[in-house]
Amino acid sequence: MSDCEREALVTAFDTLPPFSISEIGDEALQALYKFWDDLRGDRNAPMKGDLDPLLIPRHILPQIALFDIEWDPDRVKLRLVGTQITTWFGKDCTGLYLDDPAYYPIGQKQLPYFLNVARTLQPHYLTAYAPDNEKKYRNFARLLMPLKGNSGRSETLLAGYAMLPFDADLYVDPN
């Protein structure tokens, strides 16, 4: 089953598969995961207040995004997006919700992953062939990592994105 097929089956309450840092196929995302892992220490997730943007390695900044989690109703809003992500996907979606039609074409399908990471406080790594704003398929990687608020619930997700080589042998046309 391809990532795209699995993606359609995931709910916000499923257990997502664990991953190791060695599976992360991009050096910037590996560095971002290590940064987040160091912040959390022996906790399941770092506190939102632990995140100091000045301490994030500068070369990673263009590839990160911050998403705000809203509960009841459960929604995810893009608060900040790196310049490289905007370039890759052809637009800046800052301020939009994942379920907003103006967001990226696959935003609604991604919502369960984001909510799952927020609920379980477990990071998630995904690689997938997905459309950009012009419906051109790209091979991308996404790393989602929760940040807890004072309530102990996730309030923010720290995300990193990378473009990976396009392997035509692995690509499955969804149409």
| pLDDT tens figures, 123-137 | 999 888 776 666 777
Provide the terminal-to-terminal Cα distance of the chain, rounded to the nearest Å: 16
| pLDDT tens figures, 66-106 | 999 999 899 999 999 999 989 887 888 899 998 887 776 66
Burial 35-59 (b: 16+ CB within 10 A, else e): bbeebbeeeebbbbebbeeeebeee
Q: Residues 6 or more apart from 7 whose CB is under 8 A from it?
A: 109, 110, 113, 126, 128
User: Given this model, what pLDDT does residue 1 score?
Assistant: 37
Second-level CATH architecture of 3-12+24-41+63-163:
2-Layer Sandwich (3.30)
148: phi then psi, degrees, rounded to nearest 5: -85, 150
User: Given this model, what pLDDT does residue 2 score?
Assistant: 41
User: Given this model, what pLDDT does residue 101 score?
Assistant: 79
| pLDDT tens figures, 4-35 | 444 445 555 666 778 889 999 899 999 999 99
| pLDDT tens figures, 148-173 | 999 999 999 999 999 887 766 655 55
User: Given this model, what pLDDT does residue 171 score?
Assistant: 56
Closest Cα to residue 141, out of 124, 123, 127?
Answer: 127
| pLDDT tens figures, 44-77 | 999 999 999 899 999 999 999 999 999 989 999 9
Residues forming a β-bridge with 80: 66
User: Given this model, what pLDDT does residue 175 score?
Assistant: 53
Distance between CA atoms of 120 and 115, rounded to whole angstroms? 9
User: What's the chain's Rg over C-alpha atoms?
Assistant: 15
Distance between CA atoms of 145 and 9, rounded to whole angstroms? 21
Asked if pLDDT for residue 147 goes beyond 80, the answer is: yes
User: Given this model, what pLDDT does residue 8 score?
Assistant: 46
99: phi then psi, degrees, rounded to nearest 5: -90, 5
User: Given this model, what pLDDT does residue 7 score?
Assistant: 46
